[in-house]
Structure 1
Amino acid sequence: MAGAAARGVRVYGLGRYRVPAATPDRRPARPHDPALVVGFGNVGESAIRAGTRILARLLTG
């Protein structure tokens, strides 16, 4: 997340918004697999393209 922020792309964790499903015996389920949700609001097309390129570079190492 710090790498994206340093390049002007805001990234927020979604962990606090996810609720794991309970197992049949009510024990907590295993953690969710890693996921990425990308959203754009009030952003122009050129900024969307630039942000997507930055995230792709960061994710692919």
Structure 2
Amino acid sequence: MVKEVKPPLSNIQMELLKLYSVGVDEQTLKELKKEMALFFLKRLRSQADAIWVEKKYSDDTFKTLE
């Protein structure tokens, strides 16, 4: 039987583990989840905007896809 070798933890996993060792209340955890979601949403929007400009998309581009 071959055992699956898992990769080491990522840098974000390590930082979250540090946070978990201290512990936070449910409200703080909820706020943290929201901030992380907003952070990744902002990055994704920025990447999408860059592609939009690079590909020279317009509103008409997407109207033709409907």
- The TM-score, its normalising length taken from structure 2, stands at 0.34
Q: TM-score, normalised by structure 1?
A: 0.37
Which structure has the larger Rg over C-alpha atoms? 2
Q: Which has the higher contact order (CA 8 A, sep 6+)?
A: 1
